[in-house]
Structure 1
Amino acid sequence: MAESSSGPGLTEDLFAEAVMDTSDFAGFPSDSPVIGRPAKTKKPRLHGYTKPVPSPTSSEPTSSSNNSTQGWRLDPSHTIVAAELYGILQALKYLAANRTLPAVICTDSRSSLQLLQQAFPSSYTQLVATIQAHLHLLPTGAVHLQWVPSHAGLHGNEAADKAAKHAATSADQTAQVPFDFSELKSVVHRNIWKFWQAKWTSIRGQFALGMIKPSVHPWAHHMLQTRRFETLFARLRLGTAPLNKSLFQIRQAPSPLCPSCQVPETAHHYLIVCTEYAEARSQLRRQINSQGILVLSLETLLGGDITSSPTWPQTCRAVENFISSTHRFDP
């Protein structure tokens, strides 16, 4: 497989040179393809320039012989490769029905052609097997599979892209294309996350953690200075830190109230409100303000959904310094 990089003009020149001597081949782009007549060959081959694969949810063959296009709307859960393979399959069906042979099917999906070259493909086995079966029914060498770069200024490619976009947004009936195992796995995984998120959203107000973390996505890992701080952060998030409210619930404190403020001593009270630690909190505020965090809240101090922020390690250090300076959790 030859690879290089080039501008649209060079791409057109090289493609024209490749098709010059094969006027008896009919060009047939398939899903973001381009019209062309490369040299005859009995074995499908790949050559051209590297190009990212686009992301349509539909596929369509375009015939250069009659300038016709046709699109099919696929389920949005299908991948790009599935759409590309389906376009190749429909192109083969078109060729078999109209007997416009010999012909070349051009596609910008390198992955699709690599799968078709494999005797035992690792994915999309049903689609690949169906395409290979259609190829075996046609005369040897009658169909050539050609890789071409997309968005290189080639007319057939642009026409197919437009047809794909139209099919993806149309109200046409969705084509019945078999799902690959990897696609089904992705669908199941995505819907489990949605179900879990919906369930958490409906009940999170009942839990201390729910007031800090609105999403079910995992915390970004960041190692704190000591195991002691790891434990304290977790317990502050869960509302089980050794503060008077939680200690009173397990009969380890005579009162749930803060000795200084005479209100329930919770994680929010300790970190955000308590006047006993006003000086330490001023230092905490200066440190996190320097990181662009302007609001003191449990979500900003204990993580919430911001643990992937580049400033989160500095925020952790500031909270650790606050905890150390208050001596509230000293043995």
Structure 2
Amino acid sequence: QSSLKAIARPQQQSGQTSIRQIYEHIERLRKGNNRVKMIWVPSRDDDLSMSREAKRQAKKATRAGCTPQSLPYQARSTRLRLAVSQLHQQRKLPNNVGNYSKRIDRALPGKHTQALYDICKRREAGVLSQLRTGMAKINSYLNKIGAAESDMCECGCGPETMEHFLFRCTRWEAERDAMRRVGQNMMGNLSFFLGGKSASDGAKWRPTVGVQKFRQLWGQHQSPRSYAVTL
């Protein structure tokens, strides 16, 4: 019954190739002035010779070591969906890797990062990569790896996190004014200013004006704290 419904109103079900072949056979019969009517017959009806033949073929197909004479068709949409799913699994980062970076950029890993760093000079790219990975020379990270006694910022207003450094630290108000002019409503959005890309963004994605302004303002420093760091 479901097969007849699919033939009557084909949408995107599996088996589109088989349905198309059925339509082609029907069209050839119609050209010979034949009428085609498809009906469903219960498998219990042994009075029909076609029913008996169908049962015989079904039993033959289930014998041990039996292989189909022709491989079943698979709808193009089904093949494409499976291929895309497999590709996403291959490109997906493990759950325990890069949690900080994935929070900023939900499309990682991806080729879009090349477009992001292509617009940067070497020093700018160094600062940007530190902030995108969470491994910048600021106290929250240094304290985490045992290189600083405290995670507090020198301004005394709170822990020196990435968000604090970019959006709240009183030592960088001049640079922050320029960031506000670019995206006042985006202040506090790390993804916007660090070049994050949504997984739903298409191939035409480009780094935002925010990240371009960021690299102009902060790229002059070799590290977020204005002292040298080996990159």
Higher helix share: 2
Q: Which amino acid aligns with 1:227?
A: R
One-letter identity of the residue aligned with 1:328: R
Tell me, in whole angstroms, the C-alpha distance in 2 between the residues paired with 1:101 and 1:284: 75
Kindly report which structure 2 residues correspond to 1:55-134, keeping only aligned pairs within 5 A, or say none: 70-72=8-10, 74-75=12-13, 83=16, 85-94=17-26, 98=29, 100-101=31-32
CA RMSD, Structure 1 to Structure 2 (Å): 4.2
Kindly provide the CA deviation profile for residues 151-201 of structure 1, in whole angstroms up to 9, marking residues without a partner as x.
xxxxxxxxxxxxxxxxxxxxxxxxxx611689525413236638988x86x
Greater relative contact order (Cα 8 A, min sep 6): structure 1 or 2? 2
CA contact (8 A) 1:247 1:256 kept: yes
| 1:211/1:71 CA distance change after superposition, 3 Å | closer
From the superposition, tell whether residues 92 and 240 of structure 1 become closer, same or farther in structure 2 (CA, over 3 Å).
same
SS in 1 for 2:130: helix
- Measured in 2, the distance between the counterparts of 1:88 and 1:311 equals 42
In the other structure, the counterpart of 2:178 is 283
In 2, Cα distance between equivalents of 1:94 and 1:265? 74
**TM-score w.r.t. length of structure 1:** 0.43
Query: Aligned pair 1:319/2:214, yes or no?
Result: yes
Contact 1:257/1:265 (8 A) holds in 2? yes
Shift of 1:276: 1.1
Residue 305, structure 1, aligned to residue 200, structure 2: no
More strand by share: 1
Within 2, Cα distance between the matches of 1:256 and 1:228?
25
Q: Please, which runs of 5 or more residues in structure 2 have no aligned partner?
A: 35-71
Alpha carbons 1:280, 1:325 under 8 Å: kept: no
Report the count of equivalent residues.
Answer: 179
1:294 aligned counterpart, secondary structure: helix
**Map of 2:154 onto structure 1:** 259
1:118-146 residue CA offsets vs partner (Å, 9 max, x unmatched)? xxxxxxxxxxxxxxxxxxxxxxxxxxxxx
CA contact (8 A) 2:163 2:190 kept: yes
Paired residues of 2:12 and 2:77 also in contact (CA < 8 A): no
In 2, Cα distance between equivalents of 1:231 and 1:102: 76
Which segments of 5 or more consecutive residues in structure 1 lack a partner in the other structure?
1-57, 61-69, 104-176
**Cα separation, 2, equivalents of 1:311 and 1:99:** 55
Partner of 1:244: 139
Calculate the TM-score normalised by the size of structure 2: 0.58
In structure 1, how many angstroms separate the alpha carbons of the residues matched to 2:213 and 2:227? 17
CA shift in 2, pair 1:181/1:233, >3 Å: same
